[in-house]
Structure formats: C-alpha cells, structure tokens
Amino acid sequence: MPRFFIEVAYKGTAYAGFQVQQNANTVQAEIEKALSTYYRQDFSLTGSSRTDAGVHARQNYFHFDAAIDPAGANKAVYHLNAILPADIVVKQIVPVKDGAHCRFDALSRRYAYTIYSDKDPFMEGMGFYYPYDLDLELLNEGARQILAATDFESFAKRNSQVHTFNCSIHESEWEREGKQLVYYVRGNRFLRGMVRGLVGTMLKLGRGKLTPNEFSAIIEAKDPTKADFSMPAHGLTLLGVSYPEGFLGGL
C-alpha cells in the first residue's frame, strides 16, 4: 500500500498535545478525522515529533499508508483545510518510498522558545511573559555548554521511557529579536520536557541565580530534580523537521 507524508502546522493552545490520547482532543485526532471524512476510510497516522499540550508547530509531519491517488493530493489539501479547525493547517501530502518513516528518517528537529518582558496582548499564548532583567551573555554561556554536552538526563522529565539520554545538539543560541528573547535549539532528538527544562534552568543563569559552573554541574549531575521544568508550554514552537536531501521529492 502506498505511503504518504503529510506536512502540518498548528497552534497547540486548544489541544492536549500532538499524539492521540483517550478522552482528550489532540492534533493527530483532528487530522485523522479530517482524512477519514474526506477519503471515507479509516486512517492511522504516525508522527515525526511529539509535542506536549499547548506546544505549537510551524512544521511537523505524519506518515500514513492508504490506497489513495497521489495525483489528487493537491486537491485533497484544499478540502482537508476546509474540514480542519482554523488552528490546524495541512501544507502538503507527499508520496514517499516504501518503508520511509517520518520519525526514524528525520535528521533533526528545530525548536524555538520565546519570552517577552513587556506585557503584550498579541503575544499571549505564543510566548512566555517574563518581566525580569536577563543577561544575554550569561544565557549564551549556558547555550554554549548545552552545545558541548551529549548526556541530557538532567533535562528529561522523570519516567521518560528511553534507552539513552544522549542527544546530538547542532544549534543552541539565544537571540534578541526586538523586545523578545528567543532560544533556538536544533538536535537529532529531544527528550520529554527537555527544551523547557533547558530554558527554565538557563533563565536562572541569566538572572544570576546560578553561576556558569553551577549550570555545568547540573548538566553533569544527570539528575532532573536539579533542573527547572516550570516553563509553560505556550512559549515553545517546533519550527521544523529536516530529512535527507531529496527525501520528500516524491517517488
């Protein structure tokens, strides 16, 4: 049966996360429902990157197997977006080779966490209002330490069911964008709660509540009780998922 990747974007505020859950509405549930309505058959999607309740995505992917006409994919995108709620959009549906996997074939994921220090009603739900002075150089000292690290057990929430806490981080940097501070991080994989744990702990560094040596000790401790996971989900956005060149070029 042919396999397809479906590229989506969404505002996560109204959803209990990306992946289907019992007794809770999710992004995956809405997209499966829309596909089933349009194609009049059941769909079961596999996601590339899970996002928690309230987290947004500018680009995420599912894959699915279905006996549908690839030539009609563009028409399907229009109709699926008419069915879907306003806070979810399908960008494209792409036929891929047999065995292609949107999660395991991904090379990296890139996230942004946005904070703002001046009250702004237009940022509500899309960033974290944090009205404190922050030292950008200290924040980037923490970001550089993250770039050099490989074991992120200290930044994985308890009961993370993984075989390894090792991640390869390729980008880790804070940037000032107008009145906002944005943390950009890109890696081959991320642990449950990892980005929010990194941000929360770095904010302590940026406020002078931790020294660079103390921040380094938290990384090395491999103890998540030492990190700060209190950052709200709505400040976090999955910016994109990358695949090998030509991977999504069709068959």
Point out the catalytic residue in the list 42, 52, 69, 133: 52
Taking the CA atoms of residue 46, residue 49, residue 53 and residue 56 in that order, the dihedral angle to the nearest 10 degrees is -120
Using the structure block, give the residue that is written with the tokens 């770039």.
147
Give the DSSP letter string of the chain.
--EEEEEEEE-GGGSS-SS-BTTB--HHHHHHHHHHHHHSS----EESS---TT-EEEEEEEEEE----GGGHHHHHHHHHHHS-TTEEEEEEEEE-TT--TTTT--EEEEEEEEESS--TTTBTTBEE--S---HHHHHHHHHHHHH--B-GGGS-TT---S--B--EEEEEEEEETTEEEEEEEES---TTHHHHHHHHHHHHHTTSS-HHHHHHHHHHT-GGGS-----GGGEEEEEEE--TTTTS--
Asked about 65 being catalytic, the answer comes back as no
* Catalytic machinery residues: 52
